[in-house]
Amino acid sequence: MSEQKAPILILHGSQQPYLSIGRHYGGVKAFGYEYVYMQPQDAFLRKDYVKQYNKHKKAGHSWESFIEFVKSMK
């Protein structure tokens, strides 16, 4: 899958039939990328965006604002 089509964020991770096993292992590899499971948000975040999320969180921004940030990148 190309860079353009691989999702950055997969919401409702525990409800995704092929990805939900990743919540037990802390992550999953899909679409050619590694994803980290974020338990409080029940989401998978692409590993190359974790550092960006941590900066966003450290700056005091909310999870919802990070979702909007990801949507704006498409």
In this structure, is residue 64 part of a structural domain? yes
Q: What does the pLDDT average to over 37-63?
A: 95
Q: Quote the mean pLDDT of the chain.
A: 90
Distances (CA, A) of 18 to 53, 72, 73: 24, 26, 25
pLDDT at 21: 87
Residue 34 tokens read as: 């590694």
Domain carrying residue 57:
9-72
Number of domains forming the structure of the chain: 1
In this structure, is residue 15 part of a structural domain? yes
In this structure, is residue 3 part of a structural domain? no
In this structure, is residue 20 part of a structural domain? yes
In this structure, is residue 54 part of a structural domain? yes
In this structure, is residue 1 part of a structural domain? no
Confidence of residue 74 (pLDDT cuts 50, 70, 90): low
In this structure, is residue 48 part of a structural domain? yes
